[in-house]
Amino acid sequence: MSKMLVSYATLGYPKENEYLEFIDGCVKGGSDILEIGVPPKYAKYDGPVIRRSYKQVSSWLKDIWPLLKETRDRVKIPIIILTYLEDWLPVLDDFLSNLAKIGIDGILFPDLIIDYVDDYEKYVKKIKDHGLKAVIFTAPSVPDPMIQRVSKISDIFLYYGVRPTTGVPIPVSVDSLITRIRILVDNKLVVGFGLSDVEDMRKALRAGADGIAIGTAYIEAIEKGGVQEAINLVKYFRGVLNEF
Amino acid sequence: MAIEREEILPKYWYNIIPDLPKPLPPPRDPPDAEFSRIDLLRKIMPKEVLRQQFTVERFIKIPEEVREAYLNIGRPTPLMRAKRLEEMLNTPAKIYFKFEGATPTGSHKINTALPQAYFAKAEGVNHVVTETGAGQWGTAVALAARMYNMESTIFMVKVSYEQKPQRRTIMELYGGKVYASPTNLTEYGKKVLAENPSHPGSLGVAMSEAIEYALTNNYRYLVGSVLDVAILHQSVIGQEAMKQLDILGEEPDILIGCVGGGSNFGGFAFPFLGAKRGEKFIAVGSYEIPKFSQGDYMYDFPDSAGLLPMVKMITLGKDYVPPPIYAGGLRYHGAAPSLSLLIKEGIVEWREYSEPEIFEAARLFAEAQGIVPAPESAHAIKAVIDEALKAKKNHERKVIVFNLSGHGLLDLPNYESMMKRLLK
Ligand SMILES: Cc1ncc(COP(=O)(O)O)c(C=O)c1O
């Protein structure tokens, strides 16, 4: 079983056509799962690069649904929506049922078990009741017994963000962090947050990660050299994963 | 004896985060931040210190050089029984204290200053910067910097700078450069002074100045409390205490420590919590700086300028300025995120005591045991006395262990001030 490449794209970034070109490239380049970021009011755990992408998109994307539907229609691999629970609480049922209606596979709320820990089971049930997969986000600041518990109920894989925020290369020992929790995780383990350094990736995979989630590196590539450069990066990361 | 000391000194630091009852909300950047504070940490903190802050593992190996440095400053510190205090209180409880005042700088602060300085030096840093309130942290940093042949600059809260000339002398003796904050050396200091030229200073302001000064000069900032990494390093206290109690064949019932930012409390109590030893944990703050009774549990900045990432903690607000005449210490506006979570979860209890109460406790302790406690530590002593008297009332042979975080030999001006104001 090959390692999973989970590619992240901010919905509509940088512009509609380029975005669609990028997600096509993600699929062709060998991504197994697509993670689509819906711009939140407060990107609590996102670094400056992804925040910048949200800001740019928010300036023109007023209705997310047509573009989400378009995304679904073009892409056959599983699509997971990434957005903060905080923003959707008042309209959660509508939001989830709309996602399900257009055929989105699952949802990942990075703030679910951090800011809503007392009710997380209720929300997980709600997500599943709507026919969506609940991908649970964990981090090194989540205690061991809880990582063990949520790993059993997380759908598709368990997400483990190894840094406090996306895209900022805070020095961490990725392998030690994974070794700590690998035996607790009764699921596929996908590691993300600030992984763009391929040595870091190899360390993560050697330490037992089943997959890698990449986001910021693509956005930076788009900022620097356009969509094609980001697509090349997808292929490059696929190659790294294929070493394992 | 030498061998025994080395055996008591732990080989690992303990991090409680994997054993907390709930996820610890991570540090984060504020909404619509014009720059990333988390990113800024990479320019402020020594790399290895930052790595330890975010590489959360239950145990992290203490480098052999740091263990040697710990031995060199007299670790393990003594675990002493306060027999005469028990007798004076006529309590059936047994009272033990871990005496962190035994280190050369007179407090526990050296436990994290040493490794941070060591890591900074190993990265080629030659100048470290920090803030200090009463001066214990500044003293620890000045000594640690000297030990590793680095320069140190310390921003000392202005009221303390004026009231504590001896602390300044020690820092300078160790080769530290000491400024009274708010200063004119930083943009933030200038701004504070422009708004109020007679601002007495606060830890939050001094912290911001130290960080800004480190940034503009490309020096490194050493963090004295609040952040997980400082508490991690302090875990030598509690781990030693556990072994020392084992040697005595004692099982602790009640564990008590005072709280400024939470580092001595966490360092002392968290290893016990993690090992599930002890039935009651009491964190003691000051009534005059009422963060436990009046603070909010929310995301706030550790420093007043907001240069550090926001952390979720019990806080009185980053701009809090403590009452100037109060001399009891523990003036920081927040409590470490891990400790805040444990208090919110009801696992750690809190108390607040007023200056007259802690002054009385300090006097009693000095009379009983001969040690002049730091005013900060006197808060813990007051809770110890209350618990010992409760044990007496209930005829319970409780084993009370507390952390005597520092001695008060350089805090005599505080006691003088308290005597003048309180002994009428
Ligand atoms: C002797 C002593 N005890 C306690 C404290 C409170 O700080 P913390 O809560 O980080 O231990 C200080 C702070 O300066 C101190 O010097």
B131 CB near ligand 1 (under 6 Å) = no
Residue B304 in contact with ligand 1 by CB distance below 6 A:
no
Is the predicted pLDDT of residue B422 greater than 90, yes or no? no
Mean pLDDT estimate for chain B: 96
Check CB contact of A121 with chain B, cutoff 8 Å: no
pLDDT score of A123? 98
For every residue of chain B, which 3-state class applies, written as one string? Answer: CHHHHHHHCCCEEECCHHHCCCCCCCCECCCCCCCCHHHHHHHHCCHHHHHHHHCCCCEEECCHHHHHHHHHCCCCCCEEECHHHHHHHCCCCEEEEEEHHHCCCCECCHHHHHHHHHHHHHCCCCEEEEEECCCHHHHHHHHHHHHCCCEEEEEEEHHHHHHCHHHHHHHHHCCEEEEEECCCCCHHHHHHHHHCCCCCCCHHHHHHHHHHHHHHHCCEECCCCCCHHHHHHHHHHHHHHHHHHHHHCCCCCEEEEECCCCHHHHHHHHHHHHCCCCCEEEEEEECCCCHHHHCEEEEECCCCCCCCCEEEEEECCCCCCCCCCCCCCCCCCEECHHHHHHHHCCCCEEEEECHHHHHHHHHHHHHHHCCCECHHHHHHHHHHHHHHHHHHHCCCCCEEEEEECEECCCCHHHHHHHHHHHCC
B267 lines ligand 1 (CB under 6 A): no
Where do the structural domains in chain B lie, given as residue ranges?
Answer: 10-64+110-221, 76-106+234-423
**List of residues 6+ apart from B250 with CB closer than 8 A:** B94, B96, B399
CATH number of B76-106+234-423: 3.40.50.1100
Range 140-169 of A in CB contact (< 8 A) with B: 140-144, 146, 163-165, 168-169
- A34-55 average pLDDT score: 96
In this model, does residue B329 exceed pLDDT 90? no
pLDDT of residue B323: 86
pLDDT value at B1 more than 60? no
* CB of B258 closer than 6 angstroms to any ligand 1 atom: yes
What is the dotted CATH code of the domain comprising A4-243?
3.20.20.70
Tell me, what's the ipTM? 0.95
pLDDT score for B424: 65
Question: Rounded to a whole number, what is the distance in Å from the CA of B48 to chain A's nearest CA?
Answer: 8
Q: How confident is the model at residue A1 (pLDDT cuts 50, 70, 90)?
A: low
Q: Over the stretch B24-33, which tens digit does the pLDDT of each residue have?
A: 999 999 998 9
What span, in angstroms and rounded, lies between the C-alpha atoms of B220 and B233? Answer: 18
* pLDDT above 70: residue B4: yes
Distance in Å, alpha carbon of B278 to nearest chain A alpha carbon: 21
Chain A interface, mutation test: which of B34, B38, B45, B48, most A Cβ atoms within 10 Å?
Answer: B38
How many interface pairs between A and B have CB atoms less than 8 angstroms apart?
90
Average pLDDT for residues A70-77, to the nearest whole number? 97
**Prediction pTM value:** 0.97
Q: What confidence tier does B2 reach under pLDDT thresholds 50, 70, 90?
A: low
Q: Alpha carbon of A160 to those of A185, B186, B212: distances in Å? A: 10, 40, 33
pLDDT of residue B423: 76
Q: Which of B112, B263, B268 has the most ligand 1 atoms within 8 A of CB, as the residue to mutate?
A: B263
- Interface membership of A172 toward B (CB under 8 Å): yes
B327 confidence band (pLDDT: 50, 70, 90) = confident
The amino acid at B381: I
Give the residue, by CA position, lying nearest to ligand 1 atom 1: B406
Indicate the pLDDT class of residue A92, thresholds 50, 70 and 90.
very high
Residues in B touching A84 (Cβ below 8 Å): none
A139 vs B contacts (CB less than 8 Å):
23, 26
Among candidates B21, B28, B29 on the partner chain, residue whose Cβ is nearest the Cβ of A143: B21
Is residue B163 lining ligand 1, measured as CB closer than 6 Å?
Answer: no
pLDDT at position B401: 98
Contact across the interface for A141 and B58, Cβ inside 8 Å = no
Ligand 1: does its nearest atom lie under 6 Å from the Cβ of B264? yes
Active site residue A35: yes
Does residue B164 register a pLDDT over 90? no
Q: Does the beta carbon of B139 sit less than 6 angstroms from any atom of ligand 1?
A: no
pLDDT tens for B102-111 read 999 999 999 9
Q: How confident is the model at residue B3 (pLDDT cuts 50, 70, 90)?
A: low
Is residue B343 very low, low, confident or very high in pLDDT (cuts 50, 70, 90)? very high
Q: How far apart are CA A42 and CA A115, in angstroms?
A: 13
Q: What mean pLDDT, rounded, does chain A reach? A: 97
Q: Give the Å distance between the CA of B264 and the centre of ligand 1.
A: 6
Q: What is the pLDDT of residue B270?
A: 98
Q: Are A42 and B50 inside 8 Å of each other by CB?
A: no
The reply to whether B345 touches chain A by the CB within 8 Å rule is: no
Residue B157 predicted with pLDDT over 90: yes
With a 6 Å cutoff on the Cβ, whether B261 touches ligand 1 is yes
pLDDT grade, residue B325 (50/70/90)?
confident
**Closest approach of A80 to chain B, Cα-based (Å):** 23
B242: pLDDT strictly greater than 70? yes
Cβ contacts of B54 on chain A, cutoff 8 Å: 140, 163-164, 170-172
What's the whole-number mean pLDDT along residues B192-212? 96
Test mutation, B12, B16, B24, B29, chain A, max A CBs within 10 A:
B29
**A42 — contact with chain B (CB < 8 Å)?**
yes
Domain spanning B10-64+110-221: CATH 3.90.850.10: no
Catalytic residue among A21, A24, A32, A46: A46
What is the Å distance from ligand 1's center to B336 Cα?
Answer: 12
Of B25, B26, B55, the CB nearest to A173: B55
Nearest CA in chain B to A40: B31
Q: If you take atom 7 of ligand 1, which residue's CA is the nearest one? A: B260
A46 tagged catalytic = yes
Which pLDDT band holds residue B322 (cuts at 50, 70, 90)?
A: confident
Q: Could you tell me the pLDDT band of residue B421, with boundaries at 50, 70 and 90?
A: confident
